[in-house]
């Protein structure tokens, strides 16, 4: 499926906003323009990752002990 010029333009604008710091995106793909919300997303991801590590779960690319 081919993107329309309008979709391509919107994607380019979003990528520029990400690069300039005007838009924040977390590892799950959630996007926001609010730095406080972005920090909350990052904190929740860090807590979730810590819980996985405490249970001994490893992600892709991490060698098991």
How does pLDDT run across 9-65, given as a tens digit for each residue? Answer: 777 877 777 777 778 887 778 888 888 888 898 899 899 889 988 988 877 666 665
The token duo for 5 is 């010029």
What is the predicted pLDDT for the residue at 64? 60
The answer to whether position 60 is within a domain reads no
How many domains does the structure of the chain reveal?
1
* pLDDT of 1 strictly over 60: no
CA 28 centroid distance within chain = 5
The answer to whether position 3 is within a domain reads no
Rounded distance between C-alpha atoms, residue 34 and residue 2, angstroms: 31
Nearest CA among 32, 16, 14 for reference residue 24:
32
Domain containing residue 50? 14-54
The answer to whether position 25 is within a domain reads yes
Question: Per-residue confidence at 2, pLDDT binned at 50, 70, 90?
Answer: low
The answer to whether position 7 is within a domain reads no
Helix (H) or strand (E) holding 59: none
């Amino acid at each position: 499926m081919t993107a329309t010029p309008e979709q391509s333009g919107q994607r380019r604008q979003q990528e520029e906003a990400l690069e300039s710091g005007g838009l924040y995106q977390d590892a799950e793909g959630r996007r926001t323009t609010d730095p406080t919300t972005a920090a909350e997303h990052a904190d929740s991801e860090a807590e979730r990752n810590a819980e996985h590590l405490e249970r001994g779960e490893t992600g892709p690319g991490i060698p098991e002990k």
